[in-house]
Chains A and B, each alone.
Chain A
Amino acid sequence: MAQLPLSEQDMLVDRGAGFITRAEELAYELKVEQVMTRDVKTVTPRTLIIDVLNLFREARISGAPVVDQDRLVGVISIEDLIRALRDSGRSELRASVSDYMTTRLVTVNVYDSIIEALKLFAKTKLGRLLVVDRAGRLAGIITKGDITRGLLNALQRDIETEELKRYRASHLFEDIISDRTSLILRYHIAPRDFINGGAASSNIKRALLRLGANPQLARRCGVAVYEAEMNLIIHATNGGDIEVEIEPHQIVIHVTDDGPGIEDIEQAMQPGFSTAPPEIRELGFGAGMGLQNIKRSVDELNIESTPARPRLIMKPKRGREEWELSREPAPGQGTRLTMKFFLQADQSLERHSSTGRESAE
């Protein structure tokens, strides 16, 4: 399996922390029938105690459900056998299961979440629970071991899915042959949409990681796009668009809007310069540091802006005595930010040209 050279370990630690919560989530998602043991040894009410004892010893089990013509009628465990022996010694080995089985049954349904089974384990202190199907027939048994195994398998599948996504995506540029392959991601950002603020940047960051980008680079792109995204939300009248063009050796991000434009770009670039209104400053924006952060993160930055140019439209009303005036700004205004990131040979998204990336596990 190919892997990233540096921070794979870091990422594993990160993931490990996430899995604690993921396991809890899975306890609600996974159904009892997905983890239970189906192949259950059963006995009938007429089975002799001696035969149960032999079955337990041979199958290395400590309990079995008692089934009478498809119907679940009880459960017999090693404790019940001990009770039988203590009661009347060896003669009781000739007694039958119906004399010693427990008929108070603790069951879960096949369709219950395993969290239900876990709750019952905690409440009853039992070691195994009987699982019944929709018709009330025995479908299997479930132990804490089954649950642990089921959770671990599901978590493993989670990791594999993410790895598979990462693996597939990371071969994109090798698998598709063209003179120049690029991948374009587009996002529309709505004005004043603080709730989704940062969604585009985190999706872009995730996409880059899946494509096999160096985490440091993914983070730099994430920070730069975040600042540009928030500027669209805060400053642009109608929001705007983000377009990310990913090539093996470079990433070019265009952020465009249609106004109001920036009057003086050099002034806007000054650390601390901000026109953010007070209610937005209250949210912690408007430090006037966003463009600075972009500058620090990128390898090349190009800002073009056409501020609002005045336009007065006049239409005569009622016999030219009154005029209707409208002052919409002239079209063509807006800001376009182009941010470029250059990938060193060893960071290329195309693995052929990279050095030491394919190192085996």
Chain B
Amino acid sequence: MTLQEIIDRLNLTVLTEKKDFTAITPSGVYASDLLSCVMAGAHRRGLWITLQSHVNIVAVAALLDLSAVIITEGSTPEPDVIQKANREEVTLLLTPAPTYTVAGKLWELGLREG
């Protein structure tokens, strides 16, 4: 499943610069709002679902080489967070849906932990 298909199926808003999302296939999904749990649990090239939207999510995503961060409940990041994400080539996606719903839909699409 490519990131583009995920963006389309879940109707996610792309907050950062567009990339060729059809070339990115996330390895799995991890959901948590606690950053050091993400550090421990998320896998390289995975997706991360969180309702955190402050600047440190970019650092975590960049260090873990995550495919994208899905920010839930419409918790829109500040412009400087988006700027930093663009500099670090981290993709930020936004949805009004809560974490549980997003996780459920991704599970239905066949994505698993990782």
Which chain A residues have a beta carbon within 8 Å of chain B's beta carbons? 13-14, 16-18, 20-21, 24, 194-195, 197-199, 201-202, 205, 219, 222-223, 226-227, 230, 283-290, 292-293, 296
Contact check, A219 vs B54: say whether CB atoms are below 8 A apart: no
- Whether A289 and B18, one on each chain, are in contact in the complex, defined by CB atoms closer than 8 angstroms, is no
- How many angstroms from the CA of A283 to the CA of B55 in the assembled complex? 9
22 sample A-B contacts, Cβ–Cβ < 8 Å, listed by A number: A14-B65, A17-B23, A18-B19, A21-B17, A21-B18, A21-B89, A194-B54, A199-B59, A201-B59, A201-B63, A205-B63, A222-B63, A230-B35, A283-B54, A284-B52, A285-B35, A285-B56, A286-B34, A287-B37, A290-B39, A292-B36, A292-B40
The answer for the CA separation of A219 and B63 in the assembled complex, in Å, is: 7
Smallest CB separation, B78 vs chain A (Å): 11
A283 pairs with B88, CB closer than 8 A: no
A324 and B60 CA atoms in complex are apart in Å by 47
Chain B: residues with CB nearer than 8 A to chain A? 17-20, 23-24, 33-37, 39-40, 44, 50, 52, 54-60, 62-65, 80, 86, 88-89
In the bound complex, what is the Cα–Cα distance between A202 and B19 (angstroms)?
22
CB distance from B5 to the nearest CB of A (A): 15
Residue pair B89, A287 in contact (C-beta under 8 Å): no
> Quick one: given A287-B35, A289-B34, are A194 and B20 in contact (CB under 8 Å)?
no
Q: B37, A289: Cβ atoms under 8 Å?
A: yes
Cross-chain contact of A202 among B23, B35, B59 (Cβ < 8 A)? B59
B23: contacting residue among A13, A24, A195, A283, CB under 8 A: A13
Q: Is the interface of A mostly helix, strand, loop or mixed?
A: helix
In the bound complex, residues from chain B placing their C-beta under 8 Å from that of A24 are 17
**Max chain B CB contacts within 10 Å: which of A16, A198, A205, A292?**
A198
Q: Which of A20, A202, A293, A296 contacts B18 (CB 8 A)?
A: A20
From the candidates A17, A198, A205, name the one contacting B56 in the complex (CB within 8 A).
Answer: A198
Q: Is the CB of A287 within 8 A of B36?
A: yes
Contacts of A199 in B (CB 8 A): 59
Given contacts A13-B23, A227-B39, A293-B40, 12 further A-B pairs with CB under 8 A are A17-B89, A20-B20, A195-B55, A219-B44, A222-B63, A226-B60, A283-B52, A284-B50, A284-B52, A284-B56, A288-B36, A289-B37
Q: Which of A17, A285, A286, A289 contacts B40 (CB 8 A)?
A: A289
Does B20 contact A198, Cβ atoms closer than 8 Å?
A: no
B36 in contact with A293 (CB, 8 Å): yes
- Of A199, A286, A289, A290, most buried by chain B (CB within 10 Å of CB) is A289
In angstroms, how far is the closest chain A Cβ from the Cβ of B4? 11
Q: Is the beta-carbon distance between B44 and A198 smaller than 8 angstroms?
A: no
Q: Which residue of B lies closest to A13 (CB)?
A: B23
Would you call B34 and A16 a contact (CB within 8 A)? Answer: no
Distance between B76 CB and nearest chain A CB, rounded to angstroms: 16
How far is A21 from B63 in the complex, measured between Cα atoms in Å?
20
In contact, B63 and A284 (Cβ under 8 angstroms) = no
Residue of B nearest to A289 (CB): B36
In the complex, the answer to whether B62 meets A198 with C-beta atoms within 8 Å is: yes
Of A18, A197, A283, A289, which contacts B39 at CB under 8 A? Answer: A289
Q: Give the docked Cα–Cα distance between A202 and B54 (Å).
A: 17
Chain B positions within 8 Å of A17 at CB level: 19-20, 23-24, 89
Q: Please report the C-alpha to C-alpha distance between residue A222 and residue B62 in the assembled complex, in whole angstroms.
A: 10
On chain B, the residues within 8 Å of A197 by CB distance are 55-56, 59
- Determine if A198 and B37 form an interchain contact, defined as CB atoms under 8 angstroms apart: no
Max count, chain A CB within 10 A of own CB: residue among B19, B36, B40, B86: B36
Name which of A13, A219, A284, A288 has the most chain B CB atoms within 10 A of its CB.
A284
- Contact yes or no, A16 B20, CB < 8 A: yes
Closest to B34 in A: A287
Smallest beta-carbon distance A266→chain B, Å = 18
Q: CB-CB < 8 A to B50: which residues of A?
A: 284
Among candidates A14, A194, A226, A288, residue contacting B63 with C-beta atoms closer than 8 Å: A226
CB-based nearest A residue for B88? A202
Docked CA distance A201–B44 (Å): 16
